[in-house]
Amino acid sequence: MANERFDALISQVRKGSSVADIGCDHAYVSCKLVQLGISKRVYASDVREGPLLAAKANIQKYGFSEYITAHLADGLDGIENFAPDDIIIAGMGGELIARIIDKSEYVKNCNVNLILQPMTCTYELREYLLQNGFEIKNELLCRDSGKIYEIILCSYSGISYTAKEEFLHIGLKTHSDPLFREFVLKKIGKFEHIAKGKQLSSTECDYEYTLIKNLKEMIGEEV
């Protein structure tokens, strides 16, 4: 179960908390939480039967049935019956994560931490969180199999915020991360690629140019 991404997710879980692992797939994160002694009460759920069967098999294989309950559920449906302190939603698209959060009243509680790891649409997820009263408390970057992943720790405060465009793209709390410079350079490369494509089709690309300039300034690169 060695995996930098799992370790980074787990590092944001409060020790001794009850945890929901939404979209658990093989329940590797759930099992690791128990194995490391971080949680003794885990709810592992998935919307599909196949992953849930794999999760149940792993839970049994590791002998963790006493600590982890596996459920077939769509997102956070019925989560109030388990009442977790910390909720992990990882390995899905950012828009799907936002939809799952949006459907749940349970998460509108300042004591409940959400640990999110979007695979795509990180901008859209941050925008959703800030506009809908979720405070981003921490963010970290991790590299796994050559790819950099973004992890967001947040909880409900009821206060809506806006953030500058570049922060919605790269995160509000990633600056001190050891991978920050490399991560921003990758983002700059992405926007340069988009701008080049737009230029070729004579489409206006001021948005990308402004972003590239601001991101370069942020990491002390020549503009």
Ligand X SMILES: C[S@@+](CC[C@H](N)C(=O)[O-])C[C@H]1O[C@@H](n2cnc3c(N)ncnc32)[C@H](O)[C@@H]1O
CB of 10 to ligand X, least distance (A): 11
Q: Is 45:70 a contact under the CB 8 Å cutoff?
A: yes
Told to check if 47 binds ligand X by CB under 6 A, we report yes
Q: How many residues does the chain have?
A: 223
- By C-beta, is 120 or 210 nearer to ligand X? 120
Q: Which stretch binds ligand X (CB under 6 A): 87-95, 102-110, 139-147, 201-209?
A: 87-95
Alpha-carbon dihedral of residues 182, 183, 184, 190, nearest 10 degrees? 110
By CB under 6 A, how many residues form the interface with ligand X?
A: 16
Q: Distance between CA atoms of 89 and 23, rounded to whole angstroms?
A: 7
| Per-residue contact flags (x/-) with ligand X for residues 114 to 153, judged by CB under 6 A | ----------------------------------------
Task: Choose, by CB under 6 A, the member of 92, 98, 154, 215 that binds ligand X.
Answer: 92
Q: Given strand 68-72, what is the order of strands in its sheet?
A: 68-72, 42-46, 19-22, 86-92, 113-118, 147-156, 134-144
* Of residues 64-83, those binding ligand X (CB under 6 A): 74-75
Alpha-carbon dihedral of residues 57, 60, 62, 64, nearest 10 degrees? 130
Told to check if 91 binds ligand X by CB under 6 A, we report yes
Told to check if 154 binds ligand X by CB under 6 A, we report no
Q: What is the 3-state secondary structure (H, E, C) of 21-44?
A: EECCCCCHHHHHHHHCCCCCCEEE
CB of 196 to ligand X, least distance (A): 31
Per CB under 6 A, residues contacting ligand X are 22-25, 45-48, 51, 74-75, 90-92, 96, 100
